[in-house]
Every structure is written in structure tokens, then in C-alpha cells.
Amino acid sequence: MLVLAGLEGGKGVPESIADHPVVFATLTAPSFGAVHRSLAKGGRHLVCRPGKASRCIHGRTRFCNVVHREGEAIVGEPICLDCYDYERAVLFNALAPELWRRVTIYSRRNLAKLYGLTQQGFNARVRLSFIKVVEYQRRGVIHFHAVARLDPIEGAGPLELNGKYLATAIEMAASQVSAPYPGGRGIARFGEQINLQTIEGDGASSRRGVAGYVAKYATKSSDDDGVLDRKIRSEVDLEFRNLTLHLRRLAETAWRLGKDPAYGDLPLRPWAHTLGFRGHWMTKSRQWSTTFKFLRAERARWQDDRRKRLAGNSVFGEVPKRYEFVGIGWRNAGEEYFAATKQREMFEVRVMLREVEFRS
């Protein structure tokens, strides 16, 4: 609802914003090593990585002449685990929020130049609003899906809002921004693949499509099975998680780098379960749309109205708004034994799957 309200109005947002120019942008991560891909063109599936019989320094082939379908477990896995730059991948995830912050700054600067205004003059006449969500790619690094909108500021002089200017400003900013890797490991930048889509005027279907596309990533995990949805407490903790070798190496790298004083400014250990990323899954500028406070208040009013209607039609009257503490833990020894048995069975299955994966 937060995304759609910023595109079409409603929920306390004026519907006039539906006429404002909007740009849907996707900013990706650079390559940290060759991975298996699922490619399709013109309705036809393509070979993963066609090539000749060449090998890397670790003795593994550099190519893959297999056609992978979307959803296969091997998609996103490195061609060679030892060639893949795990440290830079984890550090990119950790620095991605800073890169995005700089994109918002540079986008405003670029817009001011395109309009031929000073930064102060632009900020006095036009407001840049946005909402951004994070998506984990199959290779374990993140990229951003963002929706940006230009709004005129009331009382300022007339200025034509141009969606092409906005798209150009974001594209320039994504190529301009950078952040140094700690420990002198180079410079972190966004990847070359940047997708921009301009939406202006009457495009209700397009706006709803963008809103649905962005909103679905607000609930995605860093892995498909939700194994990394909770914090990692120790190296032993990783033994109990059914991770692929690739995801496990990413998590182990974040845990190992978190102990190094050179990366003290990046708290990697508390965020090893998110593979180094420590930002919010969704962020928005204050003026993008409605607020969670407004939505909570609206839901509370709806619940009150519903409760009153039910109380009028129920023989039991109004349900009391009261909670009581019942207890914690297992109710008896049987429940405790059953839980311990299931935990032991799950651990044995994970160990068996890991051994099969390692042998293959």
C-alpha cells in the first residue's frame, strides 16, 4: 500500500500525484566471479556459459554448455568456488546502503544541472521522492529496485516536471557514486546493468504493475528456504543450517571478516545471516506517500467498527481487550521429548544432504 499510494494517491495522499513523472530503476551489483545462469531470448532457453575446453587456475572448467531452467538449484552457484571473490561480495553488500545514499544525493545534483538551476534553487522548486526495496540475487548479492517521483513544491515558480530528466539523473548518479572497500581492497561501485523505465501521465496499469513488482520483494529472504532469516550466533550455528556451499561460504566470510579490526566500521558478524547487508529492506523518503502510523490508525478504526458490528449481532457481547500470561516452555516431558527428537532428525537430514552435495 505504501508503494501504490505514492503512485496513484489515496490513504491520505492526493490523487493528483498520479500525473507526476515516475521512474522505476533497478541498480545491480558488479560481478565477483562467473556463476551458472538461466538465460532465455525470444522464448528460447540458451546455454549457460558457452565456451571451449579451458580451465581456471584451480583446474576447473570456465564454461558450462548446459541449459539451465529458472528455479534450478545450480543457478547462481559459482562456476568455481575458489575463483569467486567472496570477500568483495560480502563487503559490497555491507556498503550498498552507503552507495544508495550517495545515489539520492547525486541524483538531486544532476537534476539541478539538467534544469539549469543551482542546488538550492532546485530544492526550492522541486522535490525528489522515492521508495526502495532490496532483492537478493541467486548469487547472494543484493540489488535495488527503486521508484522515484518528481513533485512541484507549492508556492514555488512554475517548472515543467520532466521524467526523462529524472531517468538521466539517476542513471548518471549510479555510474558516478563509489565507496572505498575497507583495508584498501579497491572501490565499490554498482554494476553496469542499470534498468530504467519512465512512467508519465495516464499509466494506471503500469503504475500498479510497478507497485506489485516492488512490493513483492519487501518480504523476500536472503535465501529461498528462509534458513538465514535469523542471526548466526557462532560457527557451530552454521553447522545446523541447510545451506548450499556458496551461501555458506558467504556467511562464513562475513563471520570471519567481522573479527578483523580492519573491518571494524562494518559490523559484519551481527549481519552475517544477511551476507553482510545491514540496511533496511525497504526505505522511503518522508514525502513519498502515506505513513505506517496512518495505516495503523486506519486499521485500528476498521477493527473497532468491526468489533462493534459483531457485538451488536452476538449473544456474547463485546470481546474484552485483555491478554493474560499463560506460560513458556513445554507443558510436560512428552512434548519436550518429541521436540528434541524432531530437532535431532532435522540435523541428521541436513548433515546427510551436505555430504551428498559435497560428493557431487
In a domain, 197, yes or no: yes
Instruction: Please check whether residues 107 and 132 belong to one and the same domain.
Output: yes
Of 256, 290, 324, the residue that ends a domain is 290
- The pLDDT > 90 percentage for the chain reads 30
| Spatial separation of the C-alpha atoms in residues 83 and 140, rounded to whole Å | 15
In a domain, 243, yes or no: yes
In this predicted structure, what is the pLDDT of residue 354?
66
Confidence of residue 202 (pLDDT cuts 50, 70, 90): low
| Spatial separation of the C-alpha atoms in residues 272 and 293, rounded to whole Å | 31
In a domain, 312, yes or no: yes
Write out pLDDT tens, residues 150-181: 988 887 666 788 889 999 999 999 999 999 99
In a domain, 75, yes or no: no
Q: Where are the beta strands (DSSP E) in the chain?
A: 22-27, 39-41, 44-46, 126-136, 142-152, 179-180, 187-188, 194-199, 282-284
Instruction: Please check whether residues 280 and 307 belong to one and the same domain.
Output: no
Q: Give me the DSSP letters along 285-347.
A: -TTSS--HHHHHHHHHHHHHHHHHHHHHH-TT-SPP--------S-SSHHHHHHHHHHHHHHH
Instruction: Please check whether residues 327 and 272 belong to one and the same domain.
Output: no
In a domain, 126, yes or no: yes
Of 259, 290, 321, the residue that ends a domain is 290
Write out pLDDT tens, residues 21-38: 889 999 999 999 999 998
In this predicted structure, what is the pLDDT of residue 23?
92
3-state SS, residue 15: helix
Residue 222 has pLDDT above 80, yes or no: no
Grid cell digits, residue 312: 451488536
Kindly tell me the sign of the dihedral angle through the C-alpha atoms of 34, 36, 39, 45.
positive
Distance of CA 180 to the CA centre of its chain: 22
Instruction: Please check whether residues 245 and 163 belong to one and the same domain.
Output: yes
Residues 225 and 73 sit within 8 Å (Cβ to Cβ): no
Q: pTM score, two decimals?
A: 0.79
Please, what is the Cα angle at 181 between 176 and 187, to 5 degrees? 35
| Spatial separation of the C-alpha atoms in residues 206 and 210, rounded to whole Å | 6
Report which of residues 246 and 219 the model is more confident about: 246
Instruction: Please check whether residues 274 and 299 belong to one and the same domain.
Output: no
Q: How many domains is the chain partitioned into structurally?
A: 2
Residue 219 has pLDDT above 70, yes or no: no
Residue numbers of the domain that contains 268: 2-32+85-290
Cβ neighbour number for residue 304 with a 10 Å cutoff: 10
- Name the CA radius of gyration of the chain, rounded: 25
Confidence of residue 226 (pLDDT cuts 50, 70, 90): low
3-state SS, residue 24: strand
Least confident window among 55-69, 198-212, 265-279, 289-303: 198-212
Write out pLDDT tens, residues 59-113: 888 888 889 888 888 888 999 999 999 999 999 999 999 999 999 999 999 999 9
In this predicted structure, what is the pLDDT of residue 14?
72
Confidence of residue 241 (pLDDT cuts 50, 70, 90): confident
Residue 351 has pLDDT above 70, yes or no: yes
Residue 53 has pLDDT above 80, yes or no: no
